[in-house]
Amino acid sequence: MRNQSFNFDEALKQLQSGKNLLGTDGILTPLIKQLTEAALQEEIEHYLSTTSIDTSKNGYTRKTVKSTSG
């Protein structure tokens, strides 16, 4: 399941209306989530492309990352 993507214009409107930048419902929370997921995906792909060990695990498991953004 993918959250809605970051939209600059919508974020600007929310900022102007007084919404918080950070936190569970913060303006930047979707962007932080997208960046974190992209970094983790790249790390997995890099690891799998440089590892020559034959393993039955593919590197994909459900993970929960806690941050100040929620």
For residue 1, give the H/E element and its range.
none
Q: Tell me the two tokens of residue 15.
A: 């900022």
**pTM (global) more than 0.75:** no
- Whether 55 is covered by a domain: the verdict is no
- Whether 43 is covered by a domain: the verdict is yes
- Check residue 2 and give its pLDDT: 47
Q: How far apart are CA 19 and CA 28, in angstroms?
A: 10
- Check residue 7 and give its pLDDT: 83
What is the full per-residue pLDDT of the chain (70 aa) written as tens digits? 344 567 888 888 999 999 998 888 888 888 888 899 999 999 988 888 887 665 556 666 777 878 777 6
User: Structural domain tally of the chain?
Assistant: 1
Q: How far apart are CA 32 and CA 20, in angstroms?
A: 14
- Whether 23 is covered by a domain: the verdict is yes
Domain that holds residue 37: 8-50
- Whether 59 is covered by a domain: the verdict is no
Phi and psi at residue 25, in whole multiples of 5°? -110, 20
- Whether 20 is covered by a domain: the verdict is yes
- Whether 67 is covered by a domain: the verdict is no
- Whether 58 is covered by a domain: the verdict is no
